[in-house]
Amino acid sequence: MIRQVVRNLPSTPGVYRMLNTRGDVLYVGKARNLKSRVSNYTNLAGLSNRICRMVMETAAMEIVTTHTEVEALLLESNLIKKLTPRYNVLLRDDKSFAYILVRTGHPTPQLLKHRGARNEKGAYFGPFASAGAVNWTITALLRAFQLRSCADTVFSGRSRPCLQYQIKRCSAPCVGRISPEDYQTSVQQVLAFLHGRSREINQDLAREMEEAAERLDFERAADLRDRIRALAVIQARQTINVEGLNDADVIAAFEDRGQISIQVFFFRGGQNWGNRAYFPSHDRSIPMAEVLSAFVAQFYDNKPAPPLLLLSSEPAEAELLAEALTINAGHKVTLHVPMRGDKRELVDHALANAREALARRFAESSHQRKLLTGLAEALGLAVTPTRIEVYDNSHIQGTNAIGAMIVAGPEGLEKREYRKFNIRGTKPQRGLGEAEQAAFDSGAPAMTPGDDYAMMDEVLRRRFRRALDSEAEGAATVFPDLILIDGGAGQLSVARKVLADLGIDRVAVAAIAKGPERNAGKERLFLPDKPPFSLESTDPVLYFLQRLRDEAHRFAIGTHRARRERAIDRSSLDDVAGIGPTRKRALLNHFGSARAVSNAGLDDLASVPGISDAVAKKIYDHFHGDG
């Protein structure tokens, strides 16, 4: 098949995807010359065992040509992150980073934490390695410069200063306690400080403090002294003194026993904004240089790289990678492997952190495997489980009901495998396919609100019916070795019945219930055809089970609360055709509530800015009928 594809390939740059018989993407690669690169796969004698396996699984190929090899590299990185092919190096932990945003789209700029797309007008500073670091830094900046952190709606509705003003974390521009000019001066000072000009800002504040003291304005002088102290705290924790280093990321990779740990430190404006460890998924035969190159390309796929990247070793195709990062960032990006001096000390420090992180991961993995072995012994399982699925439900008197599934294995909690189930509220039927179930659901009566057994039945049935359907279609399907239910004998019976109805006999099932008076440490375990029992309160396996149950409960509760908040945000106006967010906001601002809108007369509705006579009649008819 590959030979057939090669005949029609151009000798130009591009990206190729290798697919198996089910259409799953096995590998994404880029090439300067597609014809030459792909033809290499037709000579199995010169390929590694890993690549041979990939070639033998390949049933089809998809080709995208690009103008340059740099474009191919950018596209390759994007597709790898999106498709997560089995045979590529994968950046598994790609959580979004937090930034500090000075939002300048309002006449009175706001200081806040930001995640996600940069749609707001303003200056962004980051990334910060943790949300805690952002929160701590913002708190210190508010003490020092007293910018507002409140939303625009709160700002516009104030008639007197809020608590932030009382504790000296805001200058109360909302009620004119500071002039617009002085407030803008504070904004410029924040921007200068975050850009690394901290010494200049300290000198300015110190000079103002001395001038205030000379005028005998001791209250103003004390306020400036407190600001200087707040900035000193930030500088003591974050400032570095490396000549020529302003905005840079330090990336160090350490390899041991076939696994690679990568540590990334973020430096902006001469300040250390934290670090984070990564453990990319890769085959052990892939060289370090290729893993590092793939990591860097994927890491900066959705964020701009700083002007300088300090690396512990040379990545593969370093020049091409630097050119691609430059295009993506919109400014020149340099890759540098320092060999001596202060910059090398920074890299060595990051390398030591990478080594320690990998050692901790090995230790945690070893401990996790011991716990799984102990769990198998405690429950009498034939094999040590490598995938445990834990289920829990959350609702309030049956409303906004959510089913949650978490997954744990030898590497700990597998958060990418977590799933949530919006309870449909229909009585589940036995042995129906998706089409038949949908047809039945359309006329099925709702389950009794708060019926935990029926909810658990629906969640398990949907999860394993889908798995069976995927398996029948020939798709790769993963079944757990153990199902753990948060509950007692009743929930265990539900789970056993679902598995029996679906003909699944390869999955062990157990339930864990809180003991008398719901005391931790007295949990009871329920197994099929065995009396319930408890583990010793000091047994590590019991702690492990408690953590799994509590994590499932946390995930279920969090998902339920998010759904409930979305439901609260809805109003009767959402059901009126032609009423979008802008008109809805105008109506609520004018009348104060959705109920007041529903009781308003036709003339009152038409008097709202942005509401025409035709729209007003549509709203009136919706709440009062056509007559």
* pTM score of the predicted model: 0.69
Q: What is the dihedral of CA 394, 396, 398, 400, to 10 degrees?
A: -70
Q: Give me the helix-helix angle, 180-194 and 131-145, nearest 10°.
A: 140
Q: Return the HEC string of 562-600.
A: HHHHHHHHCCHHHHCCCCCHHHHHHHHHHHCCHHHHHHC
How many residues are there in the chain?
Answer: 627
Fold for the domain defined by 388-567: Nucleotidyltransferase; domain 5 (3.30.420)
For position 627, what pLDDT does the model report?
Answer: 43
- Which CATH number fits the domain 572-624, given the four candidates 1.10.8.640, 1.10.10.10, 3.40.50.300, 1.10.150.20? 1.10.150.20
pLDDT digits (tens, 9 = 90+) for 19-61: 998 888 999 999 999 999 999 999 888 888 889 999 999 999 9
pLDDT digits (tens, 9 = 90+) for 205-256: 888 888 888 888 888 788 888 878 877 766 665 555 566 678 899 999 999 9
Mean pLDDT of the 273-279 span: 88
DSSP string, 1-64: -HHHHHHT--SS-EEEEEE-TT--EEEEEEESSHHHHHHGGG-GGGS-HHHHHHHHH--EEEEE
Tokens of 530: 């065995």
Say how far apart CA 452 and CA 487 lie, in whole Å: 10
For position 287, what pLDDT does the model report?
Answer: 92
HSE at residue 500, side-chain half, CA atoms within 13 A, is 7
Task: Count other Cβ atoms within 10 Å, centred on residue 183.
Answer: 21
Confidence grade of residue 445 (pLDDT, cut at 50, 70, 90): very low
Architecture of domain 2-83: 3-Layer(aba) Sandwich (3.40)
The larger pLDDT score, comparing residue 425 to residue 458, is at: 458
Confidence grade of residue 154 (pLDDT, cut at 50, 70, 90): confident
pLDDT digits (tens, 9 = 90+) for 551-589: 999 988 887 777 666 655 556 677 777 788 788 778 877
DSSP string, 92-161: ---PPPEEEEEE-SSSS-EEEEE-S---SSEEEEEEES-HHHHHHHHHHHHHHH--B-S-HHHHHT-SS-
10 Å CB burial of residue 383 (0-12, 13-18, 19+) is exposed
Phi, psi (deg, nearest 5) at residue 128:
-95, 140
Q: Return the HEC string of 193-244.
A: HHCCCHHHHHHHHHHHHHHHHHCCCHHHHHHHHHHHHHHHHHHHHHECCCCC
Query: What residues does each domain of the chain span?
Result: 2-83, 98-238, 248-359, 388-567, 572-624
Tell me the Cα Rg of the chain. Answer: 30
pLDDT digits (tens, 9 = 90+) for 62-72: 999 999 999 99
Confidence grade of residue 325 (pLDDT, cut at 50, 70, 90): very high
Mean pLDDT of the 249-266 span: 93
For position 432, what pLDDT does the model report?
Answer: 46
For position 334, what pLDDT does the model report?
Answer: 95
Q: Which CATH code is given to the segment(s) 248-359? A: 3.30.420.10
pLDDT digits (tens, 9 = 90+) for 71-91: 999 999 999 988 989 899 998
Tokens of 279: 């453990």
Domains 248-359 and 388-567 share a fold: yes
Confidence grade of residue 379 (pLDDT, cut at 50, 70, 90): very high
Phi, psi (deg, nearest 5) at residue 411:
-95, 10
pLDDT digits (tens, 9 = 90+) for 464-507: 998 898 888 766 678 999 999 998 999 999 999 999 999 998 89
Say how far apart CA 588 and CA 387 lie, in whole Å: 50
pLDDT digits (tens, 9 = 90+) for 281-301: 888 889 999 999 999 999 998
